[in-house]
Structure 1
Amino acid sequence: MTDAMSAPDPSTLGVAVELVHLPVKATTDQLREVYVEVSGPCGYENFIRQGTGARLETTGNEERGASRVTIGRDRMVFQEEGATTSSEILGKRIEEVVGSLRKRVNLPVIVARTRTHRTLIQVPGGGEASSWLSQHTFALDGGNFEELGRPAKFSGFRLQLPPQVQGEALHLIRIEVWLKNPRVLYIEDAATWRHPLPTDQLQQLAAELRSAEEITAVRIPRWLASLES
């Protein structure tokens, strides 16, 4: 088996966290107050009113990616772009925004939450991603497709990692050939927790984000590298 240390290092494209809650009604003034309160610790630079909610954001530059949170009637969506994204930074922003909003509206619990992590990874051992998938993931060659009457290529596959104990996330994972570079794999991991989380216990959310990040950034690359053996 390929040693874990030789696993390719993934490059993060972005992370999004969606928090679903019971419907609330926040006024423009209340949302602007949230922006003023969290803009310092979270680094948000713009306030944009959207429908019944608002978007707080900061634009990206050469040193950092863009960051934004969209506050809606029944959900909040946090989005972080770029390789500098970390669970600690994202968790801090979530804690600040949720904490500020719950001072102004009735927001006792997060009903469900999903963390979607998008990364790129070099094909283990080099070569084209499509050929690597057919040889190492499915163990198939051109002869297996003769009945189709034409050549076939693998574009990717999906995995499901169901929770094994209470509190674990369901992971839905896509591993595909990246269209912009045939020697790179695109990985998308959507981790979903469906048990309620009180908004005064957001330290649990931070732990959940870290556990999900380990799947995407450590365990999946290590598993892919092991298929080279």
Structure 2
Amino acid sequence: MGMGREVRHSIAKRAAQEIMDGMIVNLGIGIPTLVADYIGDKAVMFHAENGVLGTGPSPIKGEENPNLCNAGGFPITTVKGAAYFDSATAFALIRRGLLDMTILGALEVSEQGDLANWIVPGKRVPGMGGALELAQKAKKVIVLMNQTDKNGHSKIVKECKLPVTAKACVDMVITDMAVFTISDQQLVLEEVFAPFCVEDVLAKTNASVVITNKLLKGDIK
């Protein structure tokens, strides 16, 4: 089953809490694009691989500028101080390690932080895009995704079965059920979203999970 609009926005809103003033952040296609709508008055420069630094919230319907889009081809706005450049320069910013954070989607994430997010074998895709460079070079990598796939299988796994984009690169995973961090290749359950409980999350996580003391004590609902 697909993820409802309200849940998608809730995940994006939680991800926005990880963004601090002064950051340069890249947003991937899908749920990550919604994050720009929830940063409030933080001074953030959003980066797009097609050559923009300083993208803003989604435009109001009917006020889209056909010349302004993100790497996924969706309409964007820009903020004061935004810059435009060619794709080579956009990728140079990534490869130099100048991005503070990338927020992207995934097909699978392993308990060691390996990321698979660019292809399902046998299915046609336009290409990897910036996924490989972003996953390897951004200072912090956050994944936003469903806890399970359409068949109910966990997307957080012991080892990725799909082709890996980059190994041991993911720092945080935010799903429709919970927030996980990955440190020293160890998966840690940090938060559980209502109406779920810890047991619900563990039942839908096909990986070894460490539970924070706060959750064990019931301090976080």
Q: With structure 2 as the length reference, what TM-score do the two structures score? A: 0.23
Q: Whose helix proportion is higher, 1 or 2?
A: 1
Q: Whose strand proportion is higher, 1 or 2?
A: 1
Q: With structure 1 as the length reference, what TM-score do the two structures score? A: 0.23
Q: Work out which structure has the larger RCO, using CA pairs closer than 8 Å and 6 or more positions apart in sequence.
A: 1
Computing the radius of gyration over CA atoms, which structure comes out larger, 1 or 2? 1
